[in-house]
Structure 1
Amino acid sequence: MSSGSSSNLEDLYLQSYSFTTTAAIIGSVDRKVFVLLRDGRSVIGVLRTFDQFANLVIHDGVERIYLDGSRYGESTEPQIFLIRGENVVMMGELDIDKEDEPLEKLTRIDYGAAFGEWKKAQTEIVERHTIEDKQLRSRGHLTSFLTDEFY
């Protein structure tokens, strides 16, 4: 049996096996992934390694911030992200052949400017929810769940 078919059998075995622990991440090592964080940020890069707590090391990673209509300068170079497992909401592999298609319609801007705009939008959401929560509590209702708008 050739080493190529052995690898295919191993891939088939891993895909058909139902992992219930962080070992499910093993199939994504050395592949391009999307990671959604608890605070609503998203990181895209190559998953290099992880541990039993689902802490991730993302290589050549970029944080993507999607804004409406603003234009700024170019972004900085990709970097390495060490992501604490408790901050991961979702992670999935990206199809590297299709991943860039939707991005062609968007404008790449400076990270600092994008982060400032994103932070401002998050602050407005918190302020709006604070007002809504006060109104609900004054009427004897439970407060709304804030993080539903972040992801």
Structure 2
Amino acid sequence: MSAPNSRSISDGSSNAEDLYLEAYAFTTAAALVGSVDRKIFLLLRDGRNLFGVLRTFDQFANLVLQDTTERIYLDAEGSKSLEKPARFGETYRGVFMVRGENVVMMGAVDIDHEDEHLEVLQNIPFEAAEAELKAIQRERVQAEKQKTKSLLSRGLINDFTKSDLY
């Protein structure tokens, strides 16, 4: 006797569960179907964090987000002064199109709990957070250039790419 929700291939019958595309294990950009019209988080190659509602995508995983917010997180250790607590800055970006090759990580956002972690962080103006992050990134690029020169002098290669700051 078969389970009530199983279907038989031979008799061609199906149930409503099989109609949902989310039940299939897609290995291409079609795997994003289950995230459409849901709030998602994106980490981009340049280190930006975006939060927004995924409206559509194409076969190259190019994404269109609506009501997008960009958020910058700054660690207490990342600041020049250790007296500064962990901070964040955010700004509204509206509709945002992201080329698929620039996405490092994507995840669903639980809208009931999405802001809980921000309660322990200090909110600072986005422009100040952006300026501090750019200074930190400049320092990192300089350090990587020095590392590359040192490794090259020994016949080794460093794979650091300036556009990959995540």
Identity of paired residues, percent? 54
- Pairing partner for 1:59 from 48, 59, 66: 66
The CA distance in 2 between the partners of 1:76 and 1:15, in whole Å, is 32
| Consecutive aligned runs of 4 or more in structure 1 exceeding 4 Å deviation | none
Q: 2:56, 2:63 within 8 Å by CA — same for their partners in 1?
A: yes
Assess, with a 3 A threshold, how the Cα gap between structure 1 residues 39 and 24 changes in structure 2: closer, same or farther.
Answer: same
- Pairing partner for 2:110 from 95, 118, 141: 95
RMSD: 2.6
Compare the two structures and name the one with the higher strand fraction: 2
Equivalent position of 2:45 in the other structure: 38
Gaps of 5+ in 1: 1-5
Q: Secondary structure at the match of 2:43?
A: strand
**Deviation by residue 1:89-137 (Cα, 9 ceiling, x = unmatched):** 1211111122211111112222222111111111111100100111111
Gaps of 5+ in 2: 1-15, 76-83
* Aligned counterparts, 1:7-18, within 5 A: 9=17, 13-18=20-25
Q: 1:132, 1:144 within 8 Å by CA — same for their partners in 2?
A: no
The CA distance in 1 between the partners of 2:90 and 2:117, in whole Å, is 18
For the pair shown, the structure with the greater C-alpha radius of gyration is: 2
Q: Secondary structure at the match of 2:156?
A: coil
Q: TM-score, normalised by structure 2?
A: 0.74
- Pairing partner for 1:130 from 145, 153, 157: 145
- Using the TM superposition, give the Cα deviation of residue 78 of structure 1 relative to its aligned residue in structure 2, in angstroms: 4.7
**Deviation by residue 1:67-105 (Cα, 9 ceiling, x = unmatched):** 133799x85445221111121112111111222111111
Q: 1:129, 1:144 within 8 Å by CA — same for their partners in 2?
A: no
Q: 1:129, 1:146 within 8 Å by CA — same for their partners in 2?
A: no
Q: How many correspondences in the alignment?
A: 142
Q: Secondary structure at the match of 2:97?
A: strand
- Pairing partner for 2:157 from 130, 136, 142: 142
Compare the two structures and name the one with the higher helix fraction: 1
Q: TM-score, normalised by structure 1?
A: 0.81
